[in-house]
């Protein structure tokens, strides 16, 4: 009964709009199976390179109800074509396939009749004087082209080549021009003149049908028409080598895009930044838009380094199912994103999901993926010295500065006599092998009026830490309906239910497994701590010293637990009305909503002071809702009055509303030990927050082109935000872009352009976008708290608000070129950009004597300039083998040109040893920490004990976490039905503060802490630090290694490492079973792949740690502390279609 009540309670929370979406989809599903008609509007997605025309026909027949009818002599079965389309009607595919040839087709119900155009094979009419010409048509390999079309320009006189590629033709005039064409090859025009015999070589055309990308507002456009850089990743590359968070699958695949993970391991949050950081204190991640609807990419991986740490429940993008994604377009520049106004200051991630596309009745696809995760790299620990200090064994010590471990019998912390020896299996004996399984069932169908697609997925992730696991249920329903010839409907509902148990604790939490490992003496065995408690229920613990906050890891996983659950709906309903061929009206309403709840508990035996032997319990709930309602009217016309001009004009508006609520309750100490209920708290403390925000917008954009070779885009948007004061609430964002296809222009004016130049395009753009702010920053806010017993008091926010707050403004300029050679076999894309973010919204620290800690201001100017280079090529292409390669390179330079006259420095993130700082005149991401005292020559100053002296403050710049450049290389090979691909990913430069090495060395557990120990304990030496004494003489005093590492562990300078790294990011080996093998099976497609992610850290400068590990996914990057080992994952993917 409780479960039934819980279900009813959950259902009552769901807004009526969700049920309305489901109702519409249910109606459309019914119409799919009820309808009997079948139209030529059926769409297909095809990826076929170097395939014969017959293979293209076979694919269409397999994936639709169409059947091709043609004579064998009409089609040359040996010649190959490329077809790469996304959800295109069969009619469009065939029109493009037969473009420039003598072939035509006719659709009769489900039959497609392919024949030659009568005009192309007509007989030459009677002429008074005829000229006989002949020749042979070959391809660029020297093979004859069978069935090529030779036509006299301007007439119906023509022939086709015979099986040897030869032709004979009678013409009436010597000044005739021959037009030679064939499917998959570039057409040629050849003057006859006095020549009577011809040898003509045709070159293959690699023009991709439907080469478009998704741009702002979900509008698909040709890439050559854009005045800015856009990169796109296809959905199939996200599902084969799968990641638990789809964001991680983009690593290395996009120039100018940096992705970093929290130290939580699999299932944690990830951070994405495009073209550098724009905001000092605000969000630097892009807006995420799914099918034209903005969604919340919340981030829960931002816990800082403090005594109690925190856990990471994943970010918003982890709720998106990769199996549902058709493509991801990254709108990097402001011009690309300007139509999203104040939300687009950091770029836009455009996710387009799949529609129903299989046209053969009911199509079923099953995708199964199994991935196993093991540590890629582990901390490098010493195995020579054990528990104790100053070379003396102490069974109650937290340190590994004791006696040398030589197998001698000693009474250890358990009270038993046992060999004093190292623990060879180390952390891997506690950590297991992570396993993630994902199974997705897809069903789709299309008929004359309706398309439907539905997926149901289940993912189970068992983490490497015992008792940590997560499951996720994902349901996606989408349908499009042609309600009439002029009116269509598109509706989608996506539901995700995610549950997590015992997510790893981060940073300084005593329950952080890796923090405990760093401080655990090297002779302590994990096997002695299994179960967490002894027979009397007392915690098994190697020390009674509570000051160091160390804890048995098995007690952490078995007794101190946390759980969370998130239910999320994302959906939209869109109507499109086309009253005339040149006018389109679109209305759309989208919703993103989620409910999250969780609890945590600390058992009464938890042995550190905060819980006083009683433990505690807490729970929290939160919910979020965003709704967007928008309208767009577009008028467009091609080739105005035969002038060569084409264009479109669009106007629209958007209403956005957000609301979030959070409630939390904690017990304080438990009154009755281990009875976990809020009512059992000694001092129950509630809290709740409610925020609301709305933005109203109008926008318009015009697209103008001439001759299909020059394109101009102009956009304008005005936002009115509720988070800003009345006089600053309205703000305007314009953009302009130019795309100039120089090669097409020259050809249109009949300039002789070399055949090896396929495309030459220039582009440039300028835009202004921005960021507004969070709610309630304009006026003083108040809170209520309990003073004592039932007496209540009021508190005010610690930040003085700014009544005249203005939005941040980002001005961006971008220019570049796209050039391709040898029929698109080689290409280069270059982009230069510059952007300045002004009016930064900051909380400026002020004197505590004011009673406040900070005041809100507008100040600052951050500049990012950079370049992006994308190279692509097909070095080898034969009938059975193809090799494709692409290279991404990006370099971003950042400078903080201005902050505020009252403060030239702003702390982004602070820890006990290193701060991440923004300083005027410097670069975003500077690392400041305690450095060594040095003389005028830069030499360390050493005290009388041989130890280096440290500065008293943390005001020395010791590094910067931003990389100098990033790059990647992707290679893919196909041989018949076998495919192989791999990606190398590199980051050059950028500093990392590795606090794990500092703490581990202080406790004597790291390998580096061995230096000088043998000599010190033997009385023959120690660590002689390179430096000078106070009087300038070279230091010769050997220091006690334990004292040395205790001293330098507080020096941030000592543990700064170069973050340069090179890794094998991704590898896949796949085999597509041929159709002949599947002929007697129910399968239409079957592919089996071996996949791997993050397999090999080829280059790394940090001993035992991955430079990608970070304690946070906030702005304070460049700090690592007690992060879980980064994972190497490998497994198998099976994709089957019925």
pLDDT tens per residue across span 949-979: 999 999 999 999 999 999 999 999 999 999 9
Q: Find the radius of gyration of the CA atoms of the chain.
A: 34
Helix/strand/coil percent split, the chain, to 5: 15, 50, 35
Strands 808-821 and 826-845: antiparallel
Structural domains of the chain, count: 1
Joined together, the tokens standing for residue 989 give 């430069």
CA 529 to chain CA mean position, Å: 40
Three-state SS at 225:
helix
Place of tokens 């792949």: 1089
Q: How many other CB atoms are there within 10 angstroms of residue 8's CB atom? A: 9
pLDDT for the residue numbered 38: 41
CB proximity list for 71: less than 8 A, separation 6 or greater: 115
Helical packing angle, 53-62 and 90-97, nearest 10°: 180
pLDDT tens per residue across span 193-222: 888 889 888 876 644 444 677 787 778 788
Q: Under a CB-based contact definition with an 8 Å cutoff, are residues 58 and 44 in contact? A: no
Q: Band of the pLDDT at 154, cuts 50, 70, 90?
A: confident
CATH number at residue 133: 2.60.40.4130
From 101-110, 326-335, 611-620, 763-772, the region with the lowest mean pLDDT: 101-110
State the average pLDDT over residues 746-766: 91
Q: Band of the pLDDT at 309, cuts 50, 70, 90?
A: low
Residue 571 has pLDDT above 70, yes or no: yes
CB proximity list for 309: less than 8 A, separation 6 or greater: 303, 505, 506, 507, 508, 509, 511, 512
Instruction: Tell whether 256 is covered by a domain.
Output: no
State the average pLDDT over residues 280-284: 84
pLDDT tens per residue across span 238-271: 888 888 888 888 999 999 999 888 766 677 788 8
Place of tokens 């994709």: 1135
Q: Band of the pLDDT at 1048, cuts 50, 70, 90?
A: very high
Domain around 146: 118-202
Q: In angstroms, rounded to a whole number, what is the distance separating the alpha carbons of residues 765 and 767? A: 7
pLDDT for the residue numbered 306: 43
Residue 39 has pLDDT above 70, yes or no: no
Encode 432-450: b = buried (16+ Cβ within 10 Å), e = exposed.
Answer: eebbbbbbbebbbbbbebb
> Using CA of residue 739, residue 743, residue 747, residue 750, what is the dihedral sign?
positive
State the average pLDDT over residues 883-898: 95
pLDDT for the residue numbered 811: 93
pLDDT for the residue numbered 164: 80
Q: In angstroms, rounded to a whole number, what is the distance separating the alpha carbons of residues 251 and 985? A: 8
From 165-179, 663-677, 784-798, 1091-1105, the region with the lowest mean pLDDT: 784-798
pLDDT for the residue numbered 109: 63
Instruction: Tell whether 162 is covered by a domain.
Output: yes
The H-or-E segment that residue 497 falls in is: strand 487-501
From 6-10, 34-38, 759-763, 795-799, the region with the lowest mean pLDDT: 34-38
Instruction: Tell whether 128 is covered by a domain.
Output: yes
pLDDT for the residue numbered 30: 46
Q: Band of the pLDDT at 29, cuts 50, 70, 90?
A: very low
pLDDT for the residue numbered 872: 95
The model's pTM is 0.83
- To the nearest 10°, the Cα dihedral for 672, 675, 678, 684? 30
Task: Classify residue 1034 by its DSSP letter.
Answer: B
Percentage of the chain exceeding pLDDT 90: 46
Q: In angstroms, rounded to a whole number, what is the distance separating the alpha carbons of residues 115 and 118? A: 9
pLDDT for the residue numbered 224: 83
pLDDT tens per residue across span 1061-1107: 999 999 999 999 988 888 888 888 899 999 999 999 999 999 999 99
Q: In angstroms, rounded to a whole number, what is the distance separating the alpha carbons of residues 735 and 703? A: 12
Task: Classify residue 975 by its DSSP letter.
Answer: E
What does the chain come to in residues?
1138
Distances from the Cα of 820 to the Cα of 207, 765, 878, angstroms: 11, 21, 20
Q: In angstroms, rounded to a whole number, what is the distance separating the alpha carbons of residues 178 and 187? A: 10
Q: Band of the pLDDT at 737, cuts 50, 70, 90?
A: very high
Q: In angstroms, rounded to a whole number, what is the distance separating the alpha carbons of residues 971 and 965? A: 21
Distances from the Cα of 523 to the Cα of 63, 425, 908, 964, 1002, angstroms: 64, 12, 40, 42, 17
State the average pLDDT over residues 431-447: 91
pLDDT for the residue numbered 766: 94
Phi and psi, residue 570, nearest 5°: -130, 130
Nearest Cα to Cα of residue 149 among 94, 48, 76: 76
> Using CA of residue 541, residue 542, residue 544, residue 545, what is the dihedral sign?
negative
Nearest Cα to Cα of residue 271 among 1117, 1129, 1063, 1095: 1117
**Which of 2-6, 121-125, 357-361, 480-484: highest mean pLDDT?**
480-484
State the average pLDDT over residues 433-447: 91
Q: In angstroms, rounded to a whole number, what is the distance separating the alpha carbons of residues 377 and 1099? A: 12
Instruction: Tell whether 169 is covered by a domain.
Output: yes
Joined together, the tokens standing for residue 404 give 């040398």
Q: Band of the pLDDT at 80, cuts 50, 70, 90?
A: low
Q: Band of the pLDDT at 37, cuts 50, 70, 90?
A: very low
Residue 23 has pLDDT above 50, yes or no: no
Nearest Cα to Cα of residue 684 among 675, 702, 673, 671: 671
Nearest Cα to Cα of residue 488 among 579, 557, 366, 418: 579
pLDDT for the residue numbered 124: 39
> Using CA of residue 938, residue 939, residue 944, residue 948, what is the dihedral sign?
positive
Q: Under a CB-based contact definition with an 8 Å cutoff, are residues 252 and 888 in contact? A: yes
Place of tokens 């220039």: 762
Strand-pairing partners, residue 481, are 450, 489
pLDDT for the residue numbered 295: 92
pLDDT tens per residue across span 530-539: 998 988 888 8
Instruction: Tell whether 189 is covered by a domain.
Output: yes
Q: Band of the pLDDT at 42, cuts 50, 70, 90?
A: low
Angle at CA of residue 434, ends 430 and 438, nearest 5°: 160
- 3-state secondary structure string across 514-549: HHHHHHCCCCCCHHHHCCCECCCCCECCCCCCHHHC
Distances from the Cα of 192 to the Cα of 140, 154, 156, 185, 754, angstroms: 22, 14, 17, 21, 21
Q: In angstroms, rounded to a whole number, what is the distance separating the alpha carbons of residues 1039 and 1011? A: 11
Joined together, the tokens standing for residue 612 give 């006083």
Instruction: Tell whether 125 is covered by a domain.
Output: yes
Instruction: Tell whether 700 is covered by a domain.
Output: no
State the average pLDDT over residues 832-843: 92
From 387-396, 741-750, 784-793, the region with the lowest mean pLDDT: 784-793
Strand-pairing partners, residue 106, are 113
Q: How many other CB atoms are there within 10 angstroms of residue 129's CB atom? A: 6
User: Exposed, middle or buried, 726 (CB in 10 Å: 0-12/13-18/19+)?
Assistant: exposed
Residue 89 has pLDDT above 70, yes or no: yes
End-to-end Cα, the chain, rounded Å: 40
Residue 13 has pLDDT above 60, yes or no: no
pLDDT tens per residue across span 769-780: 888 888 888 888
Task: Classify residue 742 by its DSSP letter.
Answer: H
Q: Under a CB-based contact definition with an 8 Å cutoff, are residues 465 and 500 in contact? A: no
Instruction: Tell whether 124 is covered by a domain.
Output: yes
Q: Under a CB-based contact definition with an 8 Å cutoff, are residues 862 and 850 in contact? A: no
pLDDT for the residue numbered 119: 42
pLDDT tens per residue across span 494-531: 999 999 998 888 777 778 889 889 999 999 988 888 99
pLDDT for the residue numbered 70: 67
Residue 641 has pLDDT above 80, yes or no: no
Q: What is the mean pLDDT of the chain?
A: 85
pLDDT for the residue numbered 14: 52
């Amino acid at each position: 009964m409780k479960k039934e009540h819980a279900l009813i309670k959950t259902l009552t929370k769901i807004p009526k709009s969700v049920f309305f979406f489901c109702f519409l989809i249910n109606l459309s599903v019914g119409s799919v199976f009820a309808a009997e008609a079948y139209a030529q509007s059926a769409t297909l997605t095809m990826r076929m390179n170097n395939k014969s025309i017959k293979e293209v026909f076979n694919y269409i027949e397999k994936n639709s109800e169409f059947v091709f009818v043609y004579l064998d002599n009409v089609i040359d079965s040996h010649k190959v074509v490329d077809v790469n389309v996304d959800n295109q009607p069969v009619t469009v595919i065939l029109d493009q396939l037969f473009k420039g040839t003598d072939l035509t087709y006719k659709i009769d119900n489900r039959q497609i009749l392919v024949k030659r155009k009568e005009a192309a094979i007509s007989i030459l009419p009677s002429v008074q004087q005829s000229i006989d010409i002949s020749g042979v048509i070959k391809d660029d390999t020297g093979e004859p082209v069978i069935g090529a079309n030779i036509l006299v320009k301007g007439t119906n006189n023509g022939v086709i080549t015979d099986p040897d590629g030869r032709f004979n033709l009678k013409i009436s005039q010597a000044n005739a021009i021959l037009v030679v064409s064939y499917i998959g090859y570039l057409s040629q025009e050849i003057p006859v003149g006095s020549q009577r015999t011809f040898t003509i070589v045709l070159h293959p055309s690699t023009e991709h049908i439907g080469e478009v990308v998704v741009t702002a507002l979900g509008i698909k456009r040709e890439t050559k028409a854009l005045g800015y850089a856009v990169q796109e990743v296809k959905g199939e590359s996200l599902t084969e080598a799968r990641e638990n968070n789809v964001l991680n699958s983009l690593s290395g695949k996009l120039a100018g895009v940096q992705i970093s993970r929290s130290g939580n391991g699999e299932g944690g949050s990830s951070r994405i930044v495009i073209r550098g950081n724009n905001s000092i204190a605000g969000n630097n991640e892009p807006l995420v838009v799914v099918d034209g609807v903005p969604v919340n990419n919340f981030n829960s991986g931002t816990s800082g380094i403090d005594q109690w740490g925190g856990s990471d429940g994943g970010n918003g993008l982890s709720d998106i199912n990769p199996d549902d994604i058709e493509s991801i377009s990254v709108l990097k520049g402001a011009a690309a994103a300007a139509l999203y106004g104040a939300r687009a200051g950091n770029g836009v991630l455009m996710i387009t999901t799949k529609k129903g596309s299989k046209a053969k009745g009911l199509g079923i696809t099953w995708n199964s993926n199994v991935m196993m995760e093991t540590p890629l790299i582990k901390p490098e620990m010493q195995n020579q010295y054990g528990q104790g200090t100053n070379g003396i064994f102490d069974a109650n010590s937290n340190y590994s500065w004791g006696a040398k471990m030589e197998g001698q019998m000693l009474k250890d912390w358990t009270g038993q006599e046992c060999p004093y020896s190292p623990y060879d299996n180390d952390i891997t004996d506690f950590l297991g092998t992570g396993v993630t399984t994902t199974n997705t069932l897809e069903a789709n169908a299309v008929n004359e009026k309706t398309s439907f697609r539905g997926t149901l997925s289940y993912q189970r992730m068992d983490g490497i830490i015992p008792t940590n696991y997560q499951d996720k249920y994902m349901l996606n329903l989408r349908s499009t309906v042609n309600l009439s010839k002029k009116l269509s409907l598109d509706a989608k509902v996506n539901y995700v239910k995610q549950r997590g148990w015992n997510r790893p604790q981060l940073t300084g939490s005593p329950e952080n497994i890796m923090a405990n490992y760093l401080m655990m003496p090297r002779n302590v065995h994990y096997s002695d701590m299994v179960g967490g408690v002894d027979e009397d229920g007392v915690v098994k613990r190697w020390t009674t010293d509570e000051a160091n906050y160390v804890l048995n890891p098995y007690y952490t996983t078995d007794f101190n637990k946390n759980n969370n659950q998130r239910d999320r709906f994302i959906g939209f309903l869109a109507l499109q009305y086309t009253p005339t061929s040149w006018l389109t009206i679109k209305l759309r309403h989208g919703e993103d909503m989620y409910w999250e709840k969780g609890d945590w508990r600390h058992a009464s035996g938890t042995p550190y002071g905060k819980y006083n032997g009683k433990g505690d319990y807490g729970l929290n709930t939160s919910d979020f809702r965003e709704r967007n309602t928008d309208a767009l009217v577009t008028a467009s016309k091609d080739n105005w009055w035969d002038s060569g001009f084409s264009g479109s004009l669009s106007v629209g508006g958007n209403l956005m509303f957000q609301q979030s609520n959070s409630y939390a309750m904690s017990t304080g100490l438990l009154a009755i030990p281990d009875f976990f209920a809020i009512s059992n708290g000694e001092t129950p403390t509630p809290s709740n927050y409610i925020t609301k925000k709305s933005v109203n917008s109008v926008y318009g954009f015009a697209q103008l082109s001439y001759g299909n070779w020059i394109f101009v885009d102009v956009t304008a948007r005005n936002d009115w935000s509720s988070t800003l004061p009345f006089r600053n609430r309205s703000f305007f964002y314009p953009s302009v872009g130019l795309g100039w296809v120089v090669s097409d222009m020259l050809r249109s004016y009949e300039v002789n352009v070399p055949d090896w130049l396929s495309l030459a395009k220039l582009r440039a753009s300028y835009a202004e976008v921005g960021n507004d702010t969070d709610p309630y920053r304009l006026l003083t806010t108040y809170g209520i708290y309990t003073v004592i017993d039932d007496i209540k008091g009021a508190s005010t926010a610690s930040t003085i608000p700014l009544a005249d707050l203005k939005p941040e403004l980002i001005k961006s300029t971008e220019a570049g070129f796209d050039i391709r050679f040898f029929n698109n076999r080689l290409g280069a894309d270059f982009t230069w950009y510059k952007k300045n973010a002004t009016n930064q919204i900051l909380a400026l620290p002020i004197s505590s004597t004011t009673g406040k800690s900070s005041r809100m201001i507008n100040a600052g100017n951050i500049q990012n300039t950079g370049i992006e280079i994308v190279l692509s090529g097909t070095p080898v292409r034969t009938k059975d083998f193809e090799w494709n390669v692409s290279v991404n390179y990006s370099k971003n330079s950042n400078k903080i040109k201005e902050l505020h006259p009252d403060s030239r420095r702003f702390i982004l993130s602070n820890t006990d040893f290193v701060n991440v700082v923004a300083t005027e005149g410097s670069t975003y991401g500077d690392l400041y920490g305690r450095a060594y005292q040095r003389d005028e020559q830069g030499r360390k100053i050493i005290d009388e004990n041989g130890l280096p002296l440290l500065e008293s403050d943390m005001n020395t710049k010791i590094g910067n976490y931003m990389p100098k450049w990033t790059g990647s290389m992707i290679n893919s090979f196909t041989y018949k039905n076998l495919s192989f691909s791999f990606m190398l990913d590199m980051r050059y430069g950028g500093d990392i503060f590795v606090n794990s090495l500092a703490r581990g060395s202080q406790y004597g557990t790291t390998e580096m802490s061995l230096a000088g120990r043998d000599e010190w304990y033997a009385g023959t030496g120690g660590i002689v630090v390179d430096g000078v004494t106070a009087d300038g003489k070279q230091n010769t005093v050997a220091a006690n290694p334990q004292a040395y590492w205790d001293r330098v562990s507080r020096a941030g300078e000592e543990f700064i490492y170069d973050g340069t790294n090179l890794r094998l990011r991704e590898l896949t080996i796949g085999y597509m079973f041929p159709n002949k093998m599947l002929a007697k099976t129910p399968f239409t497609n079957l592919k089996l792949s071996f996949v791997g992610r993050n397999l090999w850290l080829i280059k790394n400068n940090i001993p035992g740690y991955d430079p990608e590990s970070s304690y946070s996914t906030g702005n304070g990057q460049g700090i690592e502390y007690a992060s879980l080992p980064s994972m190497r994952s490998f497994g198998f993917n099976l994709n089957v279609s019925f």
